[in-house]
Amino acid sequence: VIAINCCGEEYTDGDGTVYEADNYFSTGTTSDHGSQYDIELTKDEELYHTERWADKDLEYNVPFNVDIGKFVLILKFSEVYFQQAGEKVFDIALGKKIVIKDLDIFDIIGKAKAHDEYIEFEIKEDGLLYYAVSIFNN
């Protein structure tokens, strides 16, 4: 498991997963604007209080040293800044492939509520990445 607390310090969640302090980013501005809110729909609201944002692309390059297997990338979001749907809409890419298009957290769940995106992918023996996207509202 590789877990990162975006813009936050090391944190151990209620299930015992240890999130590293923010690391592996190449761009972005940090914010703890979310710390003024009680984040609903989670027992680990500290993971949703901080963020890294950018006007353009935001990129993390996480070391991933495996040969083959099935994996799940879990991205944890909470909209704490914008006030209505359509104000922040973005895509998520894994490698060079867009795996989620036009994501709008406020439109999906509203303000100050936890929302996780699950992105399943597989590295097969030929070394190529294959992606399947599943979206779950928490």
Question: What pLDDT, on a 0 to 100 scale, did the predictor assign at position 138?
Answer: 32
| 43 compared with 130, residue with greater pLDDT | 43
Residue 36 main-chain phi, psi, to 5 deg? -80, -5
Element (H, E) at 93: strand 90-94
Reported as a pLDDT band with limits 50, 70 and 90, residue 135 is: very low
What region does 110 belong to: left with phi over 0, alpha with psi -120 to 50, or beta? Answer: left
Residue 22 has pLDDT above 80, yes or no: yes
Question: What pLDDT, on a 0 to 100 scale, did the predictor assign at position 125?
Answer: 64
Reported as a pLDDT band with limits 50, 70 and 90, residue 95 is: confident
Residue 128 has pLDDT above 80, yes or no: no
In this structure, what DSSP letter does residue 22 have? Answer: S
pLDDT in tens, 32-72: 999 999 999 999 999 999 999 888 888 888 877 777 788 88
Type of residue at 58: L
pTM of the predicted model as reported, rounded to 2 decimal places: 0.84
Question: What pLDDT, on a 0 to 100 scale, did the predictor assign at position 56?
Answer: 82
**What is the number of other CB atoms lying within 10 angstroms of the CB of residue 105?**
21
Residues with Cβ < 8 Å from 128, sequence gap 6 or more? none
Reported as a pLDDT band with limits 50, 70 and 90, residue 127 is: low
| 5 compared with 66, residue with greater pLDDT | 5
Residues with Cβ < 8 Å from 100, sequence gap 6 or more? 91, 92, 117, 119, 133, 135
Look up residue 126 and give its two tokens.
């030929």
Residue 101 has pLDDT above 50, yes or no: yes
